[in-house]
């Protein structure tokens, strides 16, 4: 049936057919429509910015032909490369037969190399008077409309290459993302952190409460999991004496997809020996402020119309106080499952997991507490029941030295003083196993090797995790996480 479709001359097929005919026509004229390397002397922007020194000088530029305004014996083209746009001027009296080839057989979207002299038109636009051009790649498919761009969200995500060509803001977003990640590395490197890479394929998944993706290694006949966090391997490295480590890496969580969740996303996690969560708070503020200054030039931005100021210090809110203030529930009462179930019922919480103390606390936190917090702020001293890897507060045994940075009602960072007491950690894992037995699939699994590492001795350590995608959403004012992920997961489609 797909054969019928390709045989029938639809509009698209006809457009592609014409472009292919142009490709063949170029070949017949001795022009290779997939040219060789083109020695470029300037980026488009460099020509524009450097006009004063370049006027009358020859330059060689290359880019995609985005527009062609034909006037009979001459034509103005818009050439665009990564740096920006540059106008090129083609004249028959200079190019001769090559001019007619351009007019007849070069299509919008083709990638051209152009050499010629820099000049300024009567209307004042800096341009290149083409002495020669080369076709470097043929564009066989029509590009979306030039000034309204590509709006269809599905096509934008599925054909990101087209989205990047026709929607300039998209390129800006991903350049910002790149700059953000670079600025994070610079910030941490300067503070003596060592960047490492830990396995993506895990024999046990841990470090977060989430369901994993399962895969299989053939030679070992082994069930493996894509990592859901970086945490446990990085702390093993601190045990090994790498006192300041970080990793920026992809993690995978087998959950739902939404404007704030993609099944794979990028986490920064860092661990600092001999530090605690107060150090992590200071580090979080400084790091995030540094990234905003680097990328946006300011720490004061608007996110989806909401004013946010990331300049340190950020307010500290006590978890228990905030919890009670916004939910009317004393978190200390949520210490057994029966009472938790009662609260879940009273607050009409729909839970995907069994109503245990932990799951109810998390549900109340997510739905009743966080939406009220604009931030950025720190929510400090989390309950132990939802913090199986965090150090206990000695005189408040139901709480841990853990905080999350909250911004626009969502978690931006998660950090704690790491639990380094191997025996306490074992008890926590056992408690998690009981949660799992109650049906909570996201409860942490027992990890004997991690316990062995703790038995070797983890120094007191502060750990921090930041969701890079969410940070970039705030940096670029992106409403959906898909807008900051180049290729978000979509259900595959036969015909696009």
Query: Looking only at residues 47 through 86 of this chain, which bind RNA when binding is defined by CB under 7 A?
Result: 67-74, 76
Q: Is residue 87 involved in binding RNA (CB under 7 A)?
A: yes
Total of residues contacting RNA (CB under 7 A): 89
Does residue 468 belong to the site contacting RNA (CB under 7 A)? no
For the chain, what's the residue count? Answer: 496
Q: Yes or no: say if 244 and 269 are a contact pair by the CB < 8 Å rule.
A: no
421 φ/ψ angles, rounded to the nearest 5 degrees: -90, 110
CB of 3 to RNA, least distance (A): 11
Residues 95-154 touching RNA, rule: CB under 7 A, are: 104, 107-108, 119, 121-125, 127, 142-154
String marking each residue 469-488 x if it binds RNA according to CB under 7 A: ----------xx-x-----x
Least distance (Å) between residue 69 CB and RNA: 4
Could you tell me how far CA 199 lies from the centroid of its own chain? 20
Residue 329 C-beta: closest distance to RNA, Å: 16
The stretch among 3-11, 46-54, 181-189, 296-304 that binds RNA (CB under 7 A) is: 3-11
353 vs 391, beta carbon nearer RNA: 353
Cα distance between the two ends of the chain? 15
Contact 139, 434 (CB under 8 A): no
Span from 49-57, 88-96, 299-307, 470-478 in contact with RNA (CB under 7 A): 88-96
Question: What tokens does 110 get?
Answer: 């083709």
Cα 379 from Cα 322, distance rounded (Å) = 8
In the complex, least distance from residue 36 CB atom to RNA, rounded to whole angstroms: 25
Q: Closer to RNA at the Cβ: 267 or 290? A: 267
Least distance in angstroms from the C-beta of 298 to RNA: 26
Site for RNA in 436-465 (CB under 7 A): 441-442, 465
- Angle among Cα 451, 457, 460 to the nearest 5 degrees reads 105
Kindly state the tokens that stand for 326: 């916004």
Work out whether 92 is an interface residue with RNA (CB under 7 A): yes
**Is the Cβ–Cβ distance between 463 and 231 less than 8 Å?**
yes
Shortest reach from residue 418's CB to RNA, in Å: 11
Interacting residues with RNA between 277 and 336 (CB under 7 A): none
Cβ 490 to RNA shortest distance, Å: 4
Tokens 């006037």 correspond to 71
Q: Residue 227, CB half-sphere, CA atoms under 13 Å: how many?
A: 20
Instruction: Single out the residue of 276, 411, 435, 469 in contact with RNA (rule: CB under 7 A).
Output: 411
How far is 183 from 146, CA to CA, in rounded Å?
Answer: 34
261 binds RNA (CB under 7 A): yes
Of 268 and 290, the one with the shorter C-beta distance to RNA is 268
Binding segment for RNA (CB under 7 A), chosen from 234-242, 258-266, 285-293, 331-339, is 258-266
Binding segment for RNA (CB under 7 A), chosen from 2-10, 182-190, 195-203, 293-301, is: 2-10
As to burial, measured by CB atoms within 10 angstroms (0-12 exposed, 13-18 middle, 19+ buried), residue 88 is buried
> Given the structure tokens 């709480």, which residue do they identify?
399
Token pair listed for 436? 């799992």
DSSP for 17-62 reads HHHHHHHHHHHHTT--SS---------HHHHHHTHHHHBT-EEEEE
Give the gyration radius of the chain's Cα atoms: 29
């Amino acid at each position: 049936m797909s054969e019928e479709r390709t045989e029938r001359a639809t509009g698209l097929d006809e457009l592609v057919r014409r472009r292919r005919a142009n490709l063949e026509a170029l070949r017949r004229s001795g022009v290779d429509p997939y040219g060789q390397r083109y020695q470029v002397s300037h980026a488009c922007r460099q020509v524009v910015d450097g006009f004063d020194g370049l006027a009358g000088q020859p330059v060689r530029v290359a880019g995609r032909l985005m527009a062609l305004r034909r006037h009979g014996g001459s034509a103005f083209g818009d050439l665009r490369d990564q740096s920006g746009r540059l106008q090129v001027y083609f004249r028959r009296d200079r190019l001769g037969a090559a001019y007619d080839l351009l007019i007849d057989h070069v299509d919008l979207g083709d990638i051209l190399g152009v050499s010629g002299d820099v000049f300024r038109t009567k209307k004042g636009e800096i341009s290149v008077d083409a002495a020669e051009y080369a076709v470097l790649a043929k564009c066989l498919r029509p590009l979306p409309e030039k000034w309204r761009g590509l709006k269809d969200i599905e096509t934008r995500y599925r054909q990101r290459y087209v989205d990047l060509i026709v929607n300039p803001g998209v390129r800006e977003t991903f350049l910002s993302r790149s700059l953000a990640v670079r600025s994070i590395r610079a910030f941490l490197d300067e503070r003596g952190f060592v960047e490492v890479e830990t396995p993506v394929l895990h024999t046990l998944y841990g470090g977060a409460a989430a369901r994993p993706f399962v895969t299989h290694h053939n030679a070992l006949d082994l069930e493996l999991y894509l990592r859901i966090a970086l945490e446990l391997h990085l702390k093993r490295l601190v045990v090994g004496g790498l006192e300041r480590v970080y990793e920026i890496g992809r993690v995978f969580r087998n959950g739902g997809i939404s404007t704030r969740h993609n099944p794979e996303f990028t986490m920064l996690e860092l661990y600092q020996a001999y530090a605690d969560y107060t150090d992590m708070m200071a580090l979080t503020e400084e790091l995030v402020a540094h990234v905003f200054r680097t990328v946006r030039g300011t720490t004061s931005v608007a996110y989806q119309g909401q004013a946010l100021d990331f300049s340190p210090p950020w307010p500290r809110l006590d978890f228990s106080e905030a919890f009670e203030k916004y939910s009317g529930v004393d978190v200390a009462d949520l210490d057994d499952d029966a009472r938790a179930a009662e609260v879940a019922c009273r607050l009409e919480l729909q839970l995907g997991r069994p109503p245990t103390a932990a799951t109810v606390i998390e549900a109340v936190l997510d739905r009743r507490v966080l939406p009220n917090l604009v931030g950025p702020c720190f929510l400090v001293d989390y309950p132990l029941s939802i913090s199986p890897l965090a150090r206990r507060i000695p005189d408040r045994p139901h709480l841990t030295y853990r905080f999350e940075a909250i911004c626009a009602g969502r978690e931006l960072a998660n950090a704690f003083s790491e639990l380094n007491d191997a025996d306490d950690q074992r008890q926590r894992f056992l408690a998690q196993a009981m949660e799992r037995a109650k049906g909570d699939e996201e409860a942490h699994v027992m990890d004997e090797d991690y316990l062995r590492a703790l038995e070797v001795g983890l120094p007191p350590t502060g750990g921090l995790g930041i969701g890079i995608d969410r940070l970039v959403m705030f940096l670029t004012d992106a409403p959906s996480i898909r807008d900051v992920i180049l290729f978000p997961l979509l259900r595959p489609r036969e015909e696009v």
